[in-house]
């Protein structure tokens, strides 16, 4: 597989680095004189909905969110270069969101703490033109909300978010119905209602299975303030030193993974193990956890790691679920699916949120320069054309560990042009290289050119 070298002008996709990663000026895709200003409705204000609201800020639009925004789960999320690149374009305030840059990754034995491998993190900004950053989810979400709802350096337009606005129906011609009977007619309806989507069924062909199935694994998610870990001599040695580390500690059929977030003030933990959750069939992310069962499961870990588990705050259980297959349609009529509603994925590539942000960027470009609203369904088909293979491949890659590529190579083949990645460095290259803004811009231009011929 070709490589991305920091010193090479040519990227692994054959593009010239200076051209492909050249920053696109803010608001580049805002309506120009003669363009239609679209009236857009977004269902759901998670990462996908908020990023899309920011990407389409120049259009008049409303975001409908059924919650009152108090429910972003306490855990961390990593944003890879392919997503950071989009956030930069959206004038996201990185400084305020307080992410952490990773210095090294370690594999340690979860029972003995013996270090099996240490890998220093490459300079991703050098390699891919944008950083790899770790956030507290609430910090990322809050800053995305600000990006959408407060004036940015280069635009004073802001999105209107309706909270406690449960959407109960949508139609393919653009109608959104709320729980209280209010109806809105929109030029485009963007469905970003998450993994348990109610509206993806409007878009996919009948017979396509939208249900999510338990995979047999679950994870306890928790946070511990770094201060608490440093105060205790039993846990201090695991966290001391300047380097920001991601550590993976397998122990039999269990695995403890941790990394810092919120400027290093918090450590984020995921303890992965076989699923033994009883009940909560409809819940995925925030299942109440029994501390007693959690501590019992942690007895397979080294006593110092058990001491870490004993300090867990905000303990939640996450049931790892996925669809049987990636979707074969993302858009129909005036309606388009994005984020987890379109492509829920397991955490093995850390790309679920990143794909939502790429979707947002693609829509921002492909819904620009619209001269007649009749062109909207065609533009949404272009979104499907651009995104379908990329997100299907990511769903499949995410279903197994990065060291298990052989298990999915035949299933993923139809969705990947070029060589298949088969080790972490190759996955990085496959995942991080694309610049969705430029890819969408080029697709739009080439479709416009062929329409003129
Ligand atoms: C524990 C965990 C760790 C993860 N780690 C990573 C990571 O490191 N990197 C990464 O890239 N991804 C990660 N992901 C995946 C990533 O978080 C998701 O892919 C991403 O949050 C999906 O965003 P979304 O906006 O599509 O969905 P959601 O965040 O689920 O948002 C959907 C929104 O729609 C609202 N809604 C639903 N129905 C309605 C309705 N009828 N009317 C109005 N509003 C409605 C919901 O209230 C919600 O706010 C992780 C996921 C989990 C669970």
Ligand 1 centroid from CA 440, angstroms: 23
What topology is assigned to 27-98+130-211+324-452 in CATH?
Answer: FAD/NAD(P)-binding domain (3.50.50)
Which protein residue's CA is at the shortest distance from atom 9 of ligand 1?
350
Ligand 1 centroid from CA 240, angstroms: 32
Ligand 1 centroid from CA 340, angstroms: 6
Q: Is any atom of ligand 1 closer than 6 Å to the C-beta of 352? A: yes
Helix ranges, 256-336 (H)? 291-297, 303-309
Range 213-322: architecture per CATH: 2-Layer Sandwich (3.30)
- Tell me if 109 sits within 8 A of 250, measured CB to CB: yes
pLDDT in tens, the chain (453 residues): 656 666 688 998 999 999 999 999 988 998 889 999 899 999 999 999 999 999 998 766 778 999 887 556 668 999 999 999 999 999 999 999 999 999 999 999 999 999 999 989 888 998 999 999 999 999 999 999 999 999 888 888 889 999 999 999 999 999 999 999 999 999 999 999 999 999 999 999 989 999 999 899 999 999 999 999 999 999 999 999 888 999 999 999 999 999 999 999 999 999 999 988 777 666 667 788 899 999 999 999 999 999 999 999 989 999 999 999 999 999 999 999 999 999 999 998 999 999 999 999 999 999 999 999 999 999 999 999 999 999 999 999 999 887 788 999 999 999 999 999 998 889 999 999 999 999 999 999 998 887 765
Which protein residue's CA is at the shortest distance from atom 38 of ligand 1?
193
Q: Is any atom of ligand 1 closer than 6 Å to the C-beta of 66? A: yes
Taking the C-alpha atoms of residue 356 and residue 353, their distance in angstroms, rounded to an integer, is 5
Q: Is any atom of ligand 1 closer than 6 Å to the C-beta of 75? A: yes
Q: What is the pLDDT of residue 453?
A: 59
Q: Is any atom of ligand 1 closer than 6 Å to the C-beta of 218? A: no
Q: Is any atom of ligand 1 closer than 6 Å to the C-beta of 318? A: yes
Taking the C-alpha atoms of residue 374 and residue 363, their distance in angstroms, rounded to an integer, is 17
Q: Is 452 exposed, middle or buried (0-12, 13-18, 19+ CB in 10 A)?
A: exposed
Q: Is any atom of ligand 1 closer than 6 Å to the C-beta of 356? A: yes
| DSSP character at residue 110 | T
Q: Is any atom of ligand 1 closer than 6 Å to the C-beta of 261? A: no
Q: Rounded to the nearest 5 degrees, what angle is found at the Cα of 322, between the Cα atoms of 317 and 328?
A: 155
Q: Is any atom of ligand 1 closer than 6 Å to the C-beta of 353? A: yes
Taking the C-alpha atoms of residue 25 and residue 20, their distance in angstroms, rounded to an integer, is 14
CA–CA distances in Å: residue 83 to residues 198, 350, 355, 415:
26, 11, 8, 20
Q: Which of 46, 270, 283, 346 to mutate to test the pocket of ligand 1 (most atoms within 8 A of CB)?
A: 46
Ligand 1 centroid from CA 312, angstroms: 23
- Tell me if 320 sits within 8 A of 218, measured CB to CB: yes
Q: What is the pLDDT of residue 5?
A: 64
Three-state secondary structure call for residue 239: helix
Taking the C-alpha atoms of residue 394 and residue 429, their distance in angstroms, rounded to an integer, is 13
- Tell me if 337 sits within 8 A of 327, measured CB to CB: yes
User: Cα–chain-centroid distance for residue 164?
Assistant: 24
Ligand 1 centroid from CA 133, angstroms: 18
Atom of ligand 1 nearest to the CA of 195: 30
Atom of ligand 1 nearest to the CA of 75: 1
User: Which helix or strand (DSSP H or E) is residue 39 part of?
Assistant: strand 39-43
Paired tokens of 298 = 């942690």
Pairing, β 188-191 against β 335-337: parallel
Strands of the sheet with 331-332, listed across from one edge? 160-162, 60-64, 39-43, 188-191, 335-337, 331-332
Paired tokens of 145 = 């909300």
- Tell me if 421 sits within 8 A of 346, measured CB to CB: no
Ligand 1 centroid from CA 26, angstroms: 26
- What single string gives the DSSP state of each residue in 356-422? HHHHHHHHHHHTSS-S-GGGHHHHHHHHHHHHHHHHHHHHHHTTS-TT-GGGTHHHHGGG-SSPPP-
Ligand 1 centroid from CA 302, angstroms: 33
Paired tokens of 214 = 């338990």
Which protein residue's CA is at the shortest distance from atom 20 of ligand 1?
353
Q: Which residues pair with 190 in a beta bridge?
A: 42, 336
- Tell me if 240 sits within 8 A of 230, measured CB to CB: yes
Atom of ligand 1 nearest to the CA of 354: 11
Q: Which of 50, 166, 193, 428 to mutate to test the pocket of ligand 1 (most atoms within 8 A of CB)?
A: 193
CA–CA distances in Å: residue 212 to residues 121, 133, 209, 328, 344:
34, 29, 8, 16, 9
Atom of ligand 1 nearest to the CA of 353: 11
Atom of ligand 1 nearest to the CA of 48: 25
Extents of the domains making up the chain: 27-98+130-211+324-452, 213-322
- What single string gives the DSSP state of each residue in 421-435? P-SHHHHHHHHHS--
Three-state secondary structure call for residue 87: helix
| DSSP character at residue 165 | -
Atom of ligand 1 nearest to the CA of 165: 43
Q: Which of 356, 288, 293, 352 is nearest to 321 (CA)?
A: 352
Q: Is any atom of ligand 1 closer than 6 Å to the C-beta of 194? A: yes
Q: Is any atom of ligand 1 closer than 6 Å to the C-beta of 74? A: no
Strands of the sheet with 167-170, listed across from one edge? 167-170, 175-178, 183-185
Q: Is any atom of ligand 1 closer than 6 Å to the C-beta of 78? A: yes
Taking the C-alpha atoms of residue 303 and residue 301, their distance in angstroms, rounded to an integer, is 6
């Amino acid at each position: 597989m070709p490589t991305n070298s920091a010193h090479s002008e040519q990227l692994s996709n054959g593009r010239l680095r200076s051209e492909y990663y050249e920053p696109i000026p803010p608001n580049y895709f805002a309506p120009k004189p003669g363009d239609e200003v679209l009236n857009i409705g977004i269902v759901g204000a998670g990462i996908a909905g908020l990023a899309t609201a920011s990407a389409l800020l120049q259009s008049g639009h409303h975001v409908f969110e059924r919650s009152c925004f108090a429910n972003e789960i306490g855990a961390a999320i990593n944003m890879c270069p392919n997503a950071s690149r989009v956030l930069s374009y959206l004038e996201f305030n990185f400084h305020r969101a307080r992410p952490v840059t990773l210095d090294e990754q370690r594999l340690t034995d979860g029972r003995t703490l013996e270090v099996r491998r240490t890998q220093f993190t490459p300079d991703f900004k050098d390699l891919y033109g944008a950083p790899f950053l770790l956030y507290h989810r609430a910090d990322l979400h809050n800053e995305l909300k600000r990006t959408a709802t407060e004036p940015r350096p280069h635009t004073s337009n802001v999105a209107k978010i309706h909270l406690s606005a449960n959407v109960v129906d949508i139609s393919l011609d653009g109608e959104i119905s709320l729980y209280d009977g209010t109806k809105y007619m929109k030029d485009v309806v963007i469905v970003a209602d998450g993994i348990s989507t109610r509206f993806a069924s409007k878009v996919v062909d009948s017979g396509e299975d939208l249900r999510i199935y338990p995979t047999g694994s679950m994870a306890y998610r928790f946070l511990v303030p770094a201060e608490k870990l440093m105060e205790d001599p039993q846990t201090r040695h695991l966290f001391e030193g300047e380097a920001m580390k991601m550590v993976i500690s397998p122990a039999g059929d269990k695995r403890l993974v941790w990394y810092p977030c919120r400027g290093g003030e918090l450590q984020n933990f995921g303890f992965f193990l076989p699923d033994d959750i009883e009940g909560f069939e409809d819940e995925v992310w925030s299942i109440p956890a029994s501390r007693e069962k959690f501590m019992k499961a942690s007895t397979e870990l080294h006593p110092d790691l058990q001491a870490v588990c004993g300090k867990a705050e905000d303990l939640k259980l996450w049931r790892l679920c996925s669809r049987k297959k990636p979707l074969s349609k993302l858009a129909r009529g005036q309606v388009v699916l994005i984020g987890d509603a379109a492509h829920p994925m397991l955490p093995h590539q850390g790309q679920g949120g990143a794909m939502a942000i790429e979707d947002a960027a693609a829509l921002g470009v492909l819904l620009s320069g619209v001269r007649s609203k009749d062109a909207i369904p065609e533009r949404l088909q272009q979104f499907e054309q651009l995104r379908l293979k990329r997100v299907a491949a990511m769903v499949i890659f995410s279903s197994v560990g990065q060291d298990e590529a052989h298990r999915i190579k035949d299933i993923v083949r139809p969705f990947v042009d070029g060589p298949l990645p088969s080790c972490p460095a190759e996955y990085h290259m496959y995942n991080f290289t694309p610049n969705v803004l430029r890819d969408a811009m080029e697709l739009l231009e080439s479709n416009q050119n062929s329409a003129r011929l």
